[in-house]
Structure 1
């Protein structure tokens, strides 16, 4: 009897199960599946001795396959080589949670763990964000657009930069885009890293002859950006995994107070402002919303445009003044203080 369509590790698993459950049969892997037949005792002894070595090798392969990406993770940790990514904060969180340990409660412990696992981190998002405006490159919103700009005539080092040759299995990436495919995104991140490093070297040596590029020189040019990972909509613009974080340079949070617009939603508020600038909108109370942006000019623009607006009043958000939790706490404290004062006054003995 042949069990069709069973190959690879699945076939080996079927063999192991049948061998333990039915000692009187032999299961053989073929190109078409697993063939099962009944055999005598002496023949089974012969087969057991002959297949011992092969079975051991298959067991090792099966265990290796079951470990999955954790094998690659251990290789990365053991190599202690620079780890390159683009906007890689979520990747680091995922690696820590799934392949190392559960995420710690302590932020600083998380930083120490990641730095111990990967001593050198390079976030191409952080690097390109810092130098993009200096070089007057057009605005980009994703990794593919960054790669296209660096690969265009806008890049003064386009013709002198490193030549990247695809492996035979990855030649399709030279002609076609495959966004969010792991290997393609890895190719984009690595390419952006090399092109940006070459651009930094060119800028440093623009007055004289540039040295022969090497990876050591690239790392030297990238030194100011090492171990700094970009953050979006956070209290600090980036995490420094090898030292203290940089002070916050985020624009202030704005408070929008809405009147004469019953039932207004966060989406409606977002659409109201989208032609002027982009904000993250978060409801604070029934008629109040927080507006968050990463650009100071957007915050200034909204404050200016809505000064004296009849229904949409925008102001700087002050936690101690506008937070509902703080307001509730102050009200409770006020009530308790009032009752305590009344109890003190009413409980005083009258003078004779």
Structure 2
């Protein structure tokens, strides 16, 4: 697992780019600066997908990704095995004269990251820069027309501006005394932009050329005006391109990822997708349907392993410890238990870990390590690997089940290729899990399915009793997580989080002195449903009356 920071970014970018060339899919995971309170106040079991998107969009606009995990999976057809390269990238936003990003952290998120030993110094002092695709276009134009340099100089603090002036004065004083062919090196503090310093020094001295040196200085050479003119034409373009690539940082790889159009895998991935869109593409659209359309254009194929795990579990009826939480699901699939119903699991190796080194205890500590590497949950790189591993194992289980049903053979090992696995999970493509909402998933491709409210209680008050929120909470919150919507003084809807919670409320209300409860029916309990029902009855009655009248005459 490779750790990526600003100092090794150029080298690691080339490795990431090369690994992407042979990728069959990319799994991702992110650590955020905030969001850990989304389930406490903003989220409701009554939310439809459009409402949930709008709530999340409004909530995340100041939060950002502090660490992104990229796991690049490739397939070896000869061995039918899979290889993964894992990258953990610390991120910190670019600053330009035009843009100075505000960073918002949430105390609970900081506590969470600290609990798992997140290195904030590494993120802030050594994070790889990034900007959105929309900001990249603006920056490119500003650098081409010279406005970028002006904007940067205008935003300099007094002490930094003085350092620039001092470096330029040193170069000018040397150039006055130097002869053609003479050279000198100027050292400058790391806080200065070499791009601006090169331009300022050459602007001050029309008969010199400047070059970067490895130890962070600038080499100055005295030349004739003709050499300077020829040099300027080439060097200006090179410097602008180098400065641009340094400023956009990780976004350079993200652009390649968008172009690759390989499947993107994540676990409970909606927040990841929305923050990645906001951070690396542009502002989130105000329209939910427009967001789906633009996301589909960016990443045509997405798999959510939380949604996939729930669907596969329901399909093959497993109840022996299978959990949709990433850590527990990974540990479960790592054991031999699931081989009983899906033999012949694919071999998955990494560039850093041997498979036998990946057995983890339930709390996430690895029992064995190699080469000083430590596997840990809530590190974005490690979690991205786990999401990819889980995806392959779930796809294998699902494909084996389909083959066993088709061939009426539940004992054989099937020689399944990557193509077989991908075809097996195609029905789950572009379905993203939704937690605690009216619907269980978002359909990124096409229209969402109409939500089925099969865990809603229609509650009415007995006698002269009228409702207030406190009465309902005091009587029913003990049975599980629920949301309440009072629709009249004597009726309310209770959205329950689990089938067990629904059954308990219905059971206790059979003999409850204050409340009467029934399963919610849209036809019987909503105004629109009742209107439709009575309209149907009236239409049937009118039609019958007309037929009787016609028969009599």
TM-score (norm 2): 0.46
CA RMSD of aligned residues (A): 4.6
Distance, in Å, in 1 between the alignment partners of 2:231 and 2:187 is 23
Where does residue 162 of structure 1 map in the other structure? 346
Go from structure 1 to structure 2 and tell me whether the alpha carbon gap of 1:169 and 1:11 turns closer, same or farther (over 3 Å shift). farther
- Is structure 2 residue 296 aligned with structure 1 residue 115? yes
Give the CA deviation at 1:238: 1.5
Where does residue 218 of structure 1 map in the other structure? 421
Q: Which residues of structure 1 form unaligned runs of 5+?
A: 327-352
Q: Greater relative contact order: 1 or 2 (C-alpha under 8 angstroms, separation 6 or more)?
A: 2
Distance, in Å, in 1 between the alignment partners of 2:505 and 2:458 is 11
Q: 1:16 aligns with which of 198, 207, 226?
A: 198
Distance, in Å, in 2 between the alignment partners of 1:169 and 1:4 is 41
Where does residue 72 of structure 1 map in the other structure? 253
Distance, in Å, in 2 between the alignment partners of 1:73 and 1:265 is 52
Go from structure 1 to structure 2 and tell me whether the alpha carbon gap of 1:210 and 1:65 turns closer, same or farther (over 3 Å shift). farther
- Is structure 2 residue 390 aligned with structure 1 residue 192? yes
Distance, in Å, in 1 between the alignment partners of 2:344 and 2:189 is 52
Q: Which residues of structure 2 form unaligned runs of 5+?
A: 1-166, 168-185, 359-365, 367-373, 528-553
Distance, in Å, in 2 between the alignment partners of 1:45 and 1:168 is 53
Aligned length: 316
Pairing 1:1-352 to 2, within 5 Å after superposition: 3=187, 6=190, 12-13=194-195, 15-16=197-198, 18-19=200-201, 22-23=204-205, 29=212, 33-34=216-217, 42=223, 56-100=237-281, 102-133=283-314, 134-156=317-339, 160-168=344-352, 174=358, 175=366, 176-206=374-404, 207=409, 209-254=412-457, 269=473, 276-280=479-483, 291-306=494-509, 309=512
TM-score (norm 1): 0.68
Distance, in Å, in 2 between the alignment partners of 1:50 and 1:289 is 78
Give the CA deviation at 1:215: 1.2
Go from structure 1 to structure 2 and tell me whether the alpha carbon gap of 1:26 and 1:50 turns closer, same or farther (over 3 Å shift). closer
Give the CA deviation at 1:304: 2.2
Go from structure 1 to structure 2 and tell me whether the alpha carbon gap of 1:35 and 1:99 turns closer, same or farther (over 3 Å shift). closer
Conserved? CA contact 2:467–2:491, under 8 Å: no
Give the CA deviation at 1:209: 4.3
Conserved? CA contact 1:15–1:28, under 8 Å: no
Distance, in Å, in 1 between the alignment partners of 2:442 and 2:468 is 41
Conserved? CA contact 1:125–1:230, under 8 Å: yes
Where does residue 98 of structure 2 map in the other structure? none
Where does residue 347 of structure 1 map in the other structure? none
Give the CA deviation at 1:162: 1.8
Give the CA deviation at 1:234: 2.7
Give the CA deviation at 1:14: 5.4
Conserved? CA contact 1:306–1:314, under 8 Å: yes
Give the CA deviation at 1:218: 0.7
